Amino acid sequence: MLILFANPSSGRGKGAKILSIIETYLNKNHVEYLSISTNTLKQSLISLTQSLIENPEAKIIIIGGDGMVHAAINNIKDNAIGLIPAGTGNDFARALGLPLDDPIRNIKNISAASAEYIDLGKIGDEYFAAICSTGFDSVVNERANKLKWPTGKMKYNIAMLLELPRFEPRRYEIVIDGKKIQTQAMLIAIANGLSYGGGMKVCPAADLQDGLLDVMILAPVPKLEFIRIFPSVFKGLHITHPAVSILQGRSIQINANAVAYADGERIGELPLDVSISHNRLKVLR
């Protein structure tokens, strides 16, 4: 049994279109499935919980973006998941190496795949798939979530332009596998996957199966320098800048007067206790 766990409004309606494509494909190939696609995430999660009670061994096919992935991984047990990207950023799909615009190829790959294990990050009792971050990007998220216009990625670009002139680096206390660090930083990313924000490769060497979290620390730089180096993050080339440090660890505690986001979802104010859950999730790809 397949459960299609879809966000119809993801990607400005892309989720609904892809769900229809996948349903047509499965019907044509006589594959048994159940679709969950409601107007609210709360109702979808209620339906998912009930469906898993009735079909505990079901494979879950997520049709949506990173937010839908985040919701799913925190509401399943040992079910294998497949992902058909339909969101704005699709960074977990990028980490899995999936085609971003070929749903039929994705469902064919999922159908033929054997389950493999990958890691998840964990903040307290909450899992994340790609990246947990704090600092300037979280401030931008806070502003973007208050903007009614524009929509999509442009909303975050506008929020960045609004927040950068007034942003001041924070002082962080970090403990990585017992080693204490005190530092000023503009941004800190704790990564299971390699990118966030729709392809920004903030931790380009992050590996979903190595049992480690990558930690990127951006020390304070002048605002104009930040703007100059910002485009390089899409290719992961920012890591050569002297203000950028990359560390690794299995257990990270971080504290500052700041908020954090993970998989694009607001986690809350620091302090945070972040760890790696090795081989926690079964995926089909």
Q: What is the DSSP string of 78-125?
A: S--EEEEE-SSS-HHHHHHT--SS-HHHHHHHHHHPPPEEEEEEEETT
Residue 41 falls within a domain, yes or no?
Answer: yes
Domain count, the chain: 2
Say how far apart CA 70 and CA 76 lie, in whole Å.
Answer: 11
User: Domain containing 266: what range?
Assistant: 128-279
pLDDT of residue 149: 82
pLDDT of residue 147: 84
Q: Give, for all 285 residues of the chain, the pLDDT tens digit.
A: 999 999 998 867 899 999 999 999 999 999 999 999 998 999 999 999 999 999 999 999 999 999 999 999 999 989 999 999 999 889 999 999 999 999 999 999 999 999 999 999 999 999 999 999 999 999 998 888 888 788 777 888 888 889 999 999 999 999 999 999 999 999 999 999 999 988 999 999 999 999 999 999 999 999 999 999 999 999 999 999 999 999 999 999 999 999 999 998 999 999 999 999 999 999 999
Same domain? 45 vs 157: no
pLDDT of residue 30: 97
50: phi then psi, degrees, rounded to nearest 5? -65, -40
Show which of 89, 113, 137 is a domain's final residue: 113
pLDDT of residue 69: 97
Same domain? 166 vs 247: yes
pLDDT of residue 223: 94
Same domain? 137 vs 274: yes
Specify the 3-state DSSP secondary structure of 45.
Answer: helix
Exposed e or buried b per residue across 192-212, where buried means at least 16 C-beta atoms within 10 angstroms of its C-beta = bbbbbbbebbbbbebbbeeeb
**What is the Rg, in whole angstroms, of the alpha carbon atoms belonging to the chain?**
19
Same domain? 59 vs 172: no
| CB 37 within 8 Å of CB 6 | yes
Show which of 113, 143, 163 is a domain's final residue: 113
| CB 160 within 8 Å of CB 174 | no
Q: Are strands 251-255 and 259-262 parallel, antiparallel or unpaired?
A: unpaired
Same domain? 93 vs 171: no
Residues in a beta bridge with 261: 133, 266
Nearest CA among 92, 153, 161 for reference residue 120: 92
pLDDT of residue 88: 86
Same domain? 107 vs 154: no
pLDDT of residue 285: 95
Question: Could you tell me the CATH number of the domain that includes residue 60?
Answer: 3.40.50.10330
